[in-house]
Amino acid sequence: MKFIVETGKSFDQACIDLDASIVRNGFGVLHKHDLGTSLRNKGVDFDGQCAVFEVCNPVQAGKVLSADISLNMALPCRISVYTEAGLTKIGMFRPTALLSALSTDAALMAVAREVEDKTVLMIEEAR
């Protein structure tokens, strides 16, 4: 269900490169959550870095919502850049795995495959 890669890049460089790859591949960043900073600002002892990018392709999202509006709860896609044991990682939950748990619609699975192919490519490019 998870797709995670390690990168030799710094956390900051991986975030910059992921952001560029998202745009280059026809998606947009709706929001970037800096979870590490947010946790520390709330008094939580958290040493790592963690950024969650909410990404969306409006055409693909429109297809999903037109087929089943309740799937809005699974949107947008999220890609994370984080540090673990001194390593920078980039990962996501595979859209095909998520959607298969929520729907049996073959047309929606085709959309999920297209989105997954693009998001895997984004992660690999940012790697």
Task: Summarize pLDDT for 3-46 with one digit per residue, the tens.
Answer: 999 999 999 999 999 999 999 999 999 999 999 999 999 999 99
User: In the predicted model, what is the mean pLDDT of residues 107-122?
Assistant: 96
Q: Where are the domains of the chain?
A: 2-126
Task: State in Å, rounded, how far the first CA of the chain is from the last one.
Answer: 19
CA max distance for the chain: 46
Spatial contact of 45 and 66, defined as CB atoms under 8 Å apart? no
Query: Degrees (nearest 5) of the Cα angle 119, 17, 71?
Result: 30
- Give the whole-angstrom CA distance, residue 22 versus residue 4: 16
pLDDT above 70 covers a percentage of the chain that reads 100
CATH code: domain 2-126 is 3.30.310.70
Residue 119 dihedral angles phi and psi, to the nearest 5°: -70, -35
Beta-strand pair 2-7/87-93: antiparallel
- Write down the residue that tokens 């800096």 correspond to: 34
pLDDT of residue 66: 95
